[in-house]
């Protein structure tokens, strides 16, 4: 007589609220494992369906539907936990970046105060006298850790047309600008007021001295934009200036968070500047950048910062 446990292949008809068991151990033969038996690791093992349950027709185990519900609930819980953890890490990286930018903003203000209002030629010039911690130059959301593009290659199409390689202030370029500080090897941040030749600001009106025929620098074009405004705020000319707010116009930007959040803003195509200088248009969800404004405050805004709505602006 064989001592090998047997599994009955026939299914028992259920009379309870559930239609059937997936399988059941024949009550007349010894089950594969009884309660109290232990496996190889000493862990107590028991049958999936208790023997007495089968004898009585009551359901102490799980039906297939119940198992599927449990698996679905566990999957939903895991998804929720993963989302919470991911959001937490994202927020932590942004908080760390804002801390870097606050330190940098203070350093720029101090530098400006000691140089008759002039900004540093490059961010790296702040080290070490005005900003002595090299970690402040690197954003934790920057996948290249400060040794690559300062405008990521995967920016959305409407703002990814130009990477502005002339303003990179880290060791990823073959030869660095003569005024950059080579002791700052890694840098994640985009400095708008740099001493680089401006690839887009060719207009000589940006020059304070009309006789100056040298290439327009980034800082000259941005100083002009700050002072006189541009077509996106209804200004742009010295005889009809509409200056940008110093707490709005960015001086340093971090583009490495563009996939980490959205903010409502105009796009260049959705913005309408009316004859009286007021602005209107359709607002939509836009990717974000973290900025230091010229005045030193840190804020989150859209990638195209000129599209940030002001209080009171109405959506069409």
User: Which residues contact Zn ion (rule: CB under 5 A)?
Assistant: 97, 139, 141, 254, 256
Burial, 210: exposed, middle or buried (Cβ in 10 Å; 0-12, 13-18, 19+)?
exposed
Output 51 or 94, the one with its CB closest to Zn ion. Answer: 94
Cα–Cα distance between 272 and 292 in angstroms, integer? Answer: 26
CA distances from 177 to 22, 88, 137, 197, 236 (A): 73, 38, 17, 10, 30
Instruction: In angstroms, give the least distance from the CB of 238 to Zn ion.
Output: 35
Report in angstroms how near the CB of residue 104 gets to Zn ion at its nearest.
11
Distance CA 211, CA 176 (A): 28
Minimal distance, residue 103 CB to Zn ion, in Å: 13
Closest approach, Cβ 237 to Zn ion, in A, equals 35
The residue among 97 and 288 lying less far from Zn ion, judged by its C-beta, is: 97
- Determine phi and psi for 68, rounding to 5 degrees: -65, -40
Nearest to Zn ion of 87, 114 (CB atom) = 87
Q: Residue 144 or residue 242: which is nearer to Zn ion going by CB?
A: 144
Best CA proximity match to 108, nearest among 298, 308, 301: 298
Phi, psi for 315 (deg, rounded to 5): -85, 135
Chain-centroid distance, C-alpha 78? 22
Q: Which is nearer to Zn ion, 217 or 253 (CB)?
A: 253
Q: How far is the CB of 210 from Zn ion (least distance, A)?
A: 39
């Amino acid at each position: 007589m064989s001592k090998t446990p047997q599994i009955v292949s026939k299914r028992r008809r259920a009379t309870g609220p559930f239609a059937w068991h997936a399988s059941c151990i024949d009550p007349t033969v010894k089950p594969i494992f009884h309660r109290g038996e232990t496996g190889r690791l000493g862990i107590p093992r028991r049958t999936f369906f208790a023997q007495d349950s089968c004898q009585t027709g009551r359901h102490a185990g799980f039906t297939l539907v119940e198992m599927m519900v449990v698996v679905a609930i566990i999957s939903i819980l895991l998804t929720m936990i993963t989302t919470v953890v991911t959001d937490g890490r994202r927020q932590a990286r942004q908080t760390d970046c804002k801390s870097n930018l606050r330190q940098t903003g203070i350093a720029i203000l101090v530098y400006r105060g000691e140089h008759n209002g002039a900004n540093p030629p490059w961010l790296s010039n702040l080290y070490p006298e005005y900003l002595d911690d090299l970690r402040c130059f690197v954003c934790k959301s920057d996948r290249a850790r400060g040794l690559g593009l300062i405008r990521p290659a995967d920016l959305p199409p409407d703002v990814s047309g130009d990477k502005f390689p002339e303003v990179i202030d880290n060791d990823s370029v073959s030869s660095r600008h003569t005024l950059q500080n080579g002791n700052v090897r890694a840098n994640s941040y985009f400095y708008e007021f740099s001493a680089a030749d401006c690839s887009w600001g060719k207009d000589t009106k940006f020059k304070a001295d009309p006789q100056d025929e040298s290439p327009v620098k980034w800082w000259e074009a941005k100083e002009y934009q700050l002072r006189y405004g541009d077509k996106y705020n209804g200004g742009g000319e010295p005889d009809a200036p509409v200056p940008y707010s110093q707490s709005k116009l960015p001086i340093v930007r971090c583009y490495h968070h563009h996939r980490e959040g959205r903010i409502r803003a105009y796009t260049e195509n959705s913005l309408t500047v009316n004859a009286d200088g007021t602005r209107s248009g359709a607002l939509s969800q836009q990717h974000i950048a973290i900025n230091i404004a010229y005045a030193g405050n840190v804020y989150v805004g859209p990638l195209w910062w000129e599209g940030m709505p002001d209080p009171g602006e109405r959506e069409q």
